[in-house]
Chain A
Amino acid sequence: GEQVEQRPPHLSVREGDSAVITCTYTDPNSYYFFWYKQEPGASLQLLMKVFSSTEINEGQGFTVLLNKKDKRLSLNLTAAHPGDSAAYFCAASSNTDKVVFGTGTRLQVSP
């Protein structure tokens, strides 16, 4: 079945720096990819959903890149601020009922 590896497990950056989190997946049939954000003590909230037909998606202050050839998904926070401090989880699924999550990255942004 699908396996999703996420790196790094912990990431500390200064405000204004960029922060990159990367996930690699194994199932070539995975078509839907997600990034979820979990603030301390809170539940997971969807940050962005991407489909394999698109390679670059931009949100507010971040970019998601999908490299289907290398089976790699990345989240790039372009100018991190303390409010971005949270745990981030990638997830992948094919057209079935199973979503496989990465192990998470705990991001700390210091002023």
Chain B
Amino acid sequence: DMKVTQMPRYLIKRMGENVLLECGQDMSHETMYWYRQDPGLGLQLIYISYDVDSNSEGDIPKGYRVSRKKREHFSLILDSAKTNQTSVYFCASSLDRAGAETLYFGSGTRLTVL
């Protein structure tokens, strides 16, 4: 069963706290992504990972960092969360680098930073 799993689904944090969002996939996909989705802005790419320890900034990387130590896991870390990082975060994976590849998305994490 092809699946991208995100944890947690909902998260409430206070400003300045650290946040860890986790993502896993069972398809042995090389490439994984973190997006955030805000009303009226569609999906914005935060980071892309081509494989273990091979990560690249997306369009809005400021305030975020990522970790990929195993091919099937990709984590998004917010060090000292800010209120403007309140959003829905989606993890995705694809067999290879995007272009023609279909992206498989997780169910999302709704993060609220108070």
Contact A45 B105 (CB under 8 A): yes
Instruction: Report the separation of the CA atoms of residues A44 and B103 in the bound assembly, to the nearest whole angstrom.
Output: 9
The answer to the question of B97 belonging to the interface, with a C-beta cut-off of 8 Å to chain A, is yes
A3-18 near B? 1/0 per residue, CB < 8 Å: 0001001000000000
Does residue A60 face the partner (Cβ distance < 8 Å to B)?
A: no
Query: Which of A42, A94, A96, A101 meets B43, CB within 8 Å?
Result: A101
Binary per-residue interface labels of chain A (67-111) against chain B in the complex, 1 for a CB within 8 Å, 0 otherwise: 000000000000000000000010001111111011110000000
Q: State the A residues within 8 Å of B (CB).
A: 6, 9, 31-32, 34, 36, 42-46, 49, 51, 89, 93-99, 101-104
Q: What is B's interface to A at a CB cutoff of 8 Å?
A: 4, 31, 40-43, 45, 48, 50, 90, 92, 97-100, 102-103, 105-108
